Amino acid sequence: MDSEQAALVCKALGDANRMQIVQSLTGGELCACKLLEQFSITQPTLSHHMKILCDSSLVDSRKDGKWTYYSLNCAMFKEFKLFIGSITCKKSAASSTASCSKQSEKSCCCKK
């Protein structure tokens, strides 16, 4: 997963309603009508949220007659988890001055 795809996923997950939709879909595939029953939103609002989730590839959709069914794209969630897991935290610059390659404090870039 590249940074651009990760940003799309973060945007998709950056809304409380979409997070709740994702949580609902962890139980398996659901029809749009069942999702509407769970939330206090209108059908156009649900469609908007589902478009964002589908565009980010977090959710798959399939049509069956006039109904649309949604499910999580588990492969994309695994990829996103790997991407997030690859982010590491380093010590701050202030605490790394002891290992600075510049021996003189005057020339140390860490304290600027």
Task: Give Cβ neighbours of residue 90 (< 8 Å, ≥ 6 apart).
Answer: 96
pLDDT by position in tens, the chain (length 112): 999 999 999 999 999 999 999 999 999 999 999 999 999 899 999 999 999 999 999 999 999 999 999 999 999 999 999 999 999 998 776 655 555 565 565 666 655 5
pLDDT of residue 83: 95
From residue 10, give the alpha-carbon distance in Å to each of 23, 32, 80, 88.
15, 23, 9, 17
> Given 1.10.10.10, 3.10.20.440, 1.20.1250.20, 1.10.1740.10, which CATH number is that of 3-88?
1.10.10.10
Alpha helices in 41-112 (DSSP H): 43-55, 74-85
pTM flag (> 0.85): no
For 73, which DSSP code? -
